[in-house]
Amino acid sequence: MSKNDDLRAAQRAIVAALSQHAALSYRASSAVVNRLHEHIDLLAKELTASLADRLDSLTQAEMQAFLSGKYTTAKLKAMRAEIDGWGVTLNQAINSEWDKSALSLAGYEAAYMGEVMHKALDGLPKPKPKPKPETMLRNAMQAPLMGQFVEDMLSGIAPDQTARIYASLRQGIAAGQSNSQIIRALRGTPDLRYQDGLMQAAKRDVERVVRTARNHIANVAYDNTYEALGVEYVVRVAALEGRTCVACAGLDGKIYKRTDPKPAATLHPNCRCQYAPALEGELIGNRPFVKAMKVRGRDGVSKYRSIGGMTKSQREKAGLKIGQTKASTSYSSWFANQDAAYQREWLGPTRHKLYKQGKMPIERFSDPLGKRYTIDQLHQRDVETFKAIFGD
């Protein structure tokens, strides 16, 4: 077998491994998120039970003082201390869970990629030693993620949620709500398993930050491993499915020299994109795809749902189709072969009309760094195209 054949075989093995590993990594993130959700649910239950008692004990004058941000009595000071203390406890829980999982994640991802590359490149020059997990985690924590640092993103969740609690309490008092109504707005209702309460915002924040930060750490670990193994070129890989955003879809398949400036691997919250090694300048092998329309749930909201969480009827309505295509297939070329209904839902009516009639490719809907243009921005950039399609 020639060296080129070795490279092609190695590329196929790497692509197959990354595709399978992405799903497993998402499940691992879910485990961390679920543990934090349990913490938040318990803390929310404890705080709202205590606040219900404290609100019942406040006089009308104390209610007005709280509304004005004045803590003039012992009961008001104790109430403020409890809310602030709740925020401190939440922050400790978030950082404790993160500290337990982040280092093992960095080590696991580096070891995984090192093993994949070593096996795939068997018979080729031996790889250099891998960086230590502590080094990769430190590199990831020091590398900006969407312009912020992971530590700041994590530490910002509790203060934001604490501020929401104060705001909700004041809004309820100002609106003349009963104490039970105020507490219900915070905690939610048992019938909906408390999913309708304000405190659910903390769970959404945690899930968004944790999933995004873990993808960031994995990508930094991959890049460090590529550097140690001497990989020269990388290719951006987005998931071939409806949840992939326009910006990531437009960048899918772009090839870069590893050391050159390029869009961040983790481009936005909940981003799942990766840079894979391009051993021959392109991806070889197969990559999975999921084609499905949004499904309306019992809450009346239409959204993309996990396959395991969909009923048979929902799968049929979504036109669910799962398969594989050539790894070198970009999102834009895969998208071009999907039906009009799927394309229209994913792009939206205006972008779809531009895409179909104006021959405007997906790549034109975002800037070179992956920032999605609004319709107004697109109009300003392509006045003649809009005029030809939509008239004056």
Residue length, the chain?
392
**Contact between 15 and 285 (Cβ < 8 Å):** yes
How far, rounded to the nearest angstrom, does the alpha carbon of residue 384 sit from its chain's CA centroid? 36
Q: Is pLDDT above 60 for 119?
A: yes
Long-range residue pairs from 384-392, CB within 8 A, at least 24 positions apart, any chain: 385/354, 385/358, 385/360, 386/354, 388/358, 389/353, 389/354, 389/357, 389/358, 390/353
- Cα angle at 52 between 47 and 57, to 5 degrees? 125
**Contact between 387 and 354 (Cβ < 8 Å):** no
Place of tokens 């309306």: 296
Q: Output the DSSP codes for 63-83.
A: HHHHHTT---SHHHHHHHHHH
For the segment 278-288, the average pLDDT, to the nearest whole number, is 54
Report the chain's mean pLDDT, rounded to a whole number: 81
Q: Which of 39-43, 152-156, 333-337 has the lowest mean pLDDT?
A: 333-337
Assign 288 to helix, strand or coil: strand
Quote the CA–CA distance of 266 and 238 in Å, as a whole number. 10
- The model carries a pTM of 0.75
Total Cβ atoms within 10 A of residue 238: 23
Q: Single out the residue of 271, 200, 260 nearest to residue 233, CA to CA.
A: 260
* Each residue's pLDDT tens digit, 225-273: 788 777 788 888 888 888 888 888 888 888 889 999 999 999 999 888 8
Q: Between these two residues, 229 and 151, which has the higher pLDDT value?
A: 151
pLDDT of residue 173: 95
Domain ranges (residues) in the chain:
1-230, 232-284+321-392
Q: Single out the residue of 43, 46, 48 nearest to residue 93, CA to CA.
A: 43
* Each residue's pLDDT tens digit, 306-319: 555 666 666 666 56
**Contact between 322 and 288 (Cβ < 8 Å):** yes
**Contact between 221 and 109 (Cβ < 8 Å):** yes
* Each residue's pLDDT tens digit, 3-42: 556 666 666 666 666 666 666 676 678 888 899 999 999 9
Q: Per DSSP, which regions of 292-347 are E strands? A: 295-296, 302-303, 321-326
Q: Between these two residues, 311 and 111, which has the higher pLDDT value?
A: 111
pLDDT of residue 241: 80
pLDDT of residue 124: 46
Report residue 285's pLDDT band, with 50, 70 and 90 as the boundaries: very low
Q: Is pLDDT above 50 for 284?
A: no
Assign 1 to helix, strand or coil: coil
Amino acid at 316: E
Q: Decide: residue 172, CB within 10 A, 0-12 exposed, 13-18 middle, 19+ buried.
A: buried
For the segment 189-213, the average pLDDT, to the nearest whole number, is 90
What six digits make up the tokens of 104? 């093992």
**Contact between 341 and 292 (Cβ < 8 Å):** no
Q: Is pLDDT above 90 for 283?
A: no
Most confident option among 102-111, 153-162, 297-306: 153-162
Radius of gyration of the chain (CA): 25
